[in-house]
Structure 1
Amino acid sequence: MKISVLDQTQLLEGITAEEGFAHSVELAKYVDKLGYHRYWLSEHHSTDALAGSSPEILASHLLAKTDHIKVGTGGVMLPHYSAYKVAENFKVMSALATGRVDMGVGRAPGGHHLSTIALQGERARNVDIFPDQIDQVLEYLEDTLPENHPIRGLETTPVIDRKPELWILGTSNSSAILAAEKGLPYAFAQFINYQPGGMEQALKLYVDNFTPSKYLEKPKVLVTMKVIVASTDQKAEKIAESALRFNYYLHRGRLTRVVDSEKALSHVINPSEKREMESVKETYIIGSKETVAQKIKELTNKFPIDELMAITPIYDFEERKRSFKLLKEAVGE
């Protein structure tokens, strides 16, 4: 099974955005050398906790800093933008790094309502346009506007030989069915939708309803999960507390920076909150290399997963790098 990385450019307590981006560059170069398959960047707005407000720019920078790994977006929140401009951006990237560019697109806002208003020029757009925008992006990438299209004759430049790979991102049954009907690869964000049975149902709908297309002959599934690997199970459990703290506040409507695991959950003393943390932890993959290898085997035996994309919010950057090294060894690619 292929393994990849999702980088939310989560900022650590006490560092600048510049330092956070430097971490992303170093990590991308590191996992490229380890042989990871993809490195995706997410899109978030109007928060001091996540620096990635323009994943296309960061992806372009990382393509220039790496040699082999595929780089892309996980994803561009398409309803905010012109499908034409998005297609142009990715054609430019594809011309600069042929065969290494992924275009992951989603319909989520990537922020609260004020950033949505600002991004859409104070003209609210219905997210229901997302399926049509998928068609538009594909038409622009291929320069195949229908004969009766009102702007037939438009070119999407530059003209390139190899197009970026388009992925539909989602957390729901509707996104799974959309990807299936379009005949496109599907990336399920389990780290967002960790409701019991949610992933199983969505992936089944995608596989069962998949229609082959000129882009893809059979279903192609990527699942993104929080993965924390360390030298022992106990150490992995401890350093995972930084990520669990993020979830704790996210459930309460707050986005927070990643803090040292030594103090991350010191405030969680209520029994119900402790049960909440244990429940969230069940949706992670946490443990030593051996434990994680077994958990991944169980996961792939149960679900039709072609690729695991790890999101690994560890406070200590060297521990974060070590987690990715151990994960690569656990998968044994």
Structure 2
Amino acid sequence: MKVSMLDQTQLMEGMTPEDGFARTVEIARHADRTGLERYWVSEHHGSGTLAGSAPEILAAHLLGKTERIRIGTGGVMLTHYSPFKVAESFRVMGALAPGRVDLGIGKAPGGTHLPTILLAGGRSLDDWGPKKTDRFPEMTGELLEYLADDLPEDHPFSGHFRVSPAVREAPDVWILGTGPSSARLAAELGLPYAFAHFINSDEEEMAETAGLYADRFRAAGHAGTPRVIVAMRAFVAETGDEAEFIAGSALHGQFWAHRGRQVKLPPPRQALGDVKTEKERDEIETVRRSWLIGSAGHVRDRLAGLARRVPFGEVMAVSPIFDLESQKRSMELLKDAAEGI
């Protein structure tokens, strides 16, 4: 099984955005040296704790700081933007680093309603809302046409221009999602699919969604084989106790996120001090069970069991760990755990 990483540029206590981006660069370089398959960055707006609001800029920077690993977005929230401009931006990236660029696209807003209004040029949220999300399949098709220089004959601009720059190899486009609608779209278009388990941890639903995607992809007669990534919270250490310890900071952040509050992640020794009641402890335990937490052997068993039920060939770690060296080691151990699955 392949191993990759999704980095949300999660800020820790005492960390500025400048610190966070410097750390993202260091982790990406380590992922490159460690042999991970790909390194994606996310899009969030109006956040004081997740610094990555322009993933295409950050991804382009990381391409220049790494040598082998695929770099991409997980993802660009396409419904905010012109598909033509997204195509141009990623073709520039493809020219800078041929064969190393992934364009993951989604339809979530990536923030609250106020940044969404501003991304729409200050117009009413009514101009975005269902009208834009319902257009995601149409916008995706338009993006693919621009990337391939393949406008349909009935397009008003067909034959009048080409998307610049002309590149040898377009980026790989991935559909991101958490359920059947995104899986159906990916299968219909013959695109690979990434399921965000860290958002929807219902593994029965994930298995059904991935199976639906694979079945429809094959039934459509597309060339190649269906490809599925599962993106999961992952915290791996030399021992189970150490893995539980380093996961504490992220669990602390999740506890407060469920209460509508964004917090920078504290050191693990200071994490979860606000969890007082039995109900709150049960909530944390439910979250903890859905994450990959443990030694390499434990995580290998968990991934192998999951792979027997879900048709996926790549796990993408979302691993906000307070200590930098522990984060690097978690990445290495996860790669060891996935080998041979």
Opposite residue 195 of structure 2, the aligned amino acid is F
Q: Does 1:204 align with 2:229?
A: no
Q: What is the CA-CA distance between 1:218 and the residue it aligns to?
A: 2.2
Q: Name the residue aligned to 1:264.
A: 271
Assess, with a 3 A threshold, how the Cα gap between structure 1 residues 265 and 311 changes in structure 2: closer, same or farther: same
Structure-1 separation of matches of 2:322 and 2:267: 5
Opposite residue 97 of structure 1, the aligned amino acid is A
- Range moving further from structure 2, 315-324 or 96-105: 315-324
Structure-2 separation of matches of 1:212 and 1:65: 40
Q: 2:134 aligns with which of 110, 124, 128?
A: 128
Q: What is the CA-CA distance between 1:216 and the residue it aligns to?
A: 4.8
Q: Name the residue aligned to 1:77.
A: 77
Structure-2 separation of matches of 1:282 and 1:324: 20
Q: 2:153 aligns with which of 147, 156, 159?
A: 147
Q: Name the residue aligned to 1:175.
A: 182
Q: Name the residue aligned to 1:282.
A: 289
Q: Name the residue aligned to 1:111.
A: 111
Q: What is the CA-CA distance between 1:168 and the residue it aligns to?
A: 0.2
Structure-2 separation of matches of 1:215 and 1:65: 35
Q: Does 1:243 align with 2:250?
A: yes
TM-score, normalised to structure 2, is: 0.95
Kept after mapping to 1: 8 A contact 2:247/2:268: yes
Opposite residue 324 of structure 1, the aligned amino acid is M
Structure-1 separation of matches of 2:4 and 2:265: 21
Q: Name the residue aligned to 1:66.
A: 66
Q: 2:236 aligns with which of 224, 229, 237?
A: 229
Structure-2 separation of matches of 1:215 and 1:3: 25
SS in 2 for 1:18: helix
- Range moving further from structure 2, 13-22 or 322-331: 322-331
Kept after mapping to 2: 8 A contact 1:222/1:306: yes
Q: What is the CA-CA distance between 1:208 and the residue it aligns to?
A: 2.1
Q: Does 1:307 align with 2:314?
A: yes
Long gaps (5+) in structure 1:
none
Structure-2 separation of matches of 1:304 and 1:21: 34
Kept after mapping to 1: 8 A contact 2:41/2:72: yes
Structure-1 separation of matches of 2:10 and 2:277: 27
Q: What is the CA-CA distance between 1:174 and the residue it aligns to?
A: 1.0
Structure-2 separation of matches of 1:216 and 1:226: 32
Kept after mapping to 2: 8 A contact 1:45/1:53: yes
Q: What is the CA-CA distance between 1:215 and the residue it aligns to?
A: 7.3
Q: Name the residue aligned to 1:101.
A: 101
Opposite residue 296 of structure 1, the aligned amino acid is L
Assess, with a 3 A threshold, how the Cα gap between structure 1 residues 59 and 120 changes in structure 2: closer, same or farther: same
1:5-44 deviation line (CA, Å, top 9, x unaligned): 0000101111111111010111111110010000000000
Opposite residue 64 of structure 1, the aligned amino acid is G
- Range moving further from structure 2, 90-99 or 296-305: 296-305
Structure-1 separation of matches of 2:256 and 2:215: 36
Kept after mapping to 1: 8 A contact 2:2/2:339: no
Q: What is the CA-CA distance between 1:161 and the residue it aligns to?
A: 1.2
TM-score, normalised to structure 1, is: 0.97
Assess, with a 3 A threshold, how the Cα gap between structure 1 residues 201 and 213 changes in structure 2: closer, same or farther: closer
Q: What is the CA-CA distance between 1:201 and the residue it aligns to?
A: 2.0
Q: Does 1:316 align with 2:323?
A: yes
Long gaps (5+) in structure 2:
none
Aligned pairs for 1:19-58 within 5 A: 19-58=19-58
Structure-2 separation of matches of 1:244 and 1:202: 26
SS in 2 for 1:3: strand
Structure-1 separation of matches of 2:135 and 2:68: 35
Assess, with a 3 A threshold, how the Cα gap between structure 1 residues 55 and 214 changes in structure 2: closer, same or farther: farther
CA RMSD of the aligned region, Å?
Answer: 1.4
SS in 1 for 2:302: helix
SS in 2 for 1:276: helix
Q: What is the CA-CA distance between 1:264 and the residue it aligns to?
A: 1.1
* Structure 1 residue runs of 4 or more that deviate by more than 3 Å after TM superposition: 211-216
Kept after mapping to 1: 8 A contact 2:175/2:193: yes
Structure-2 separation of matches of 1:75 and 1:155: 25
Q: What is the CA-CA distance between 1:260 and the residue it aligns to?
A: 0.9
Structure-2 separation of matches of 1:19 and 1:177: 39
Opposite residue 170 of structure 1, the aligned amino acid is G
Q: Name the residue aligned to 1:138.
A: 144
Structure-1 separation of matches of 2:21 and 2:319: 15
Q: What is the CA-CA distance between 1:151 and the residue it aligns to?
A: 2.0
Structure-2 separation of matches of 1:43 and 1:331: 27
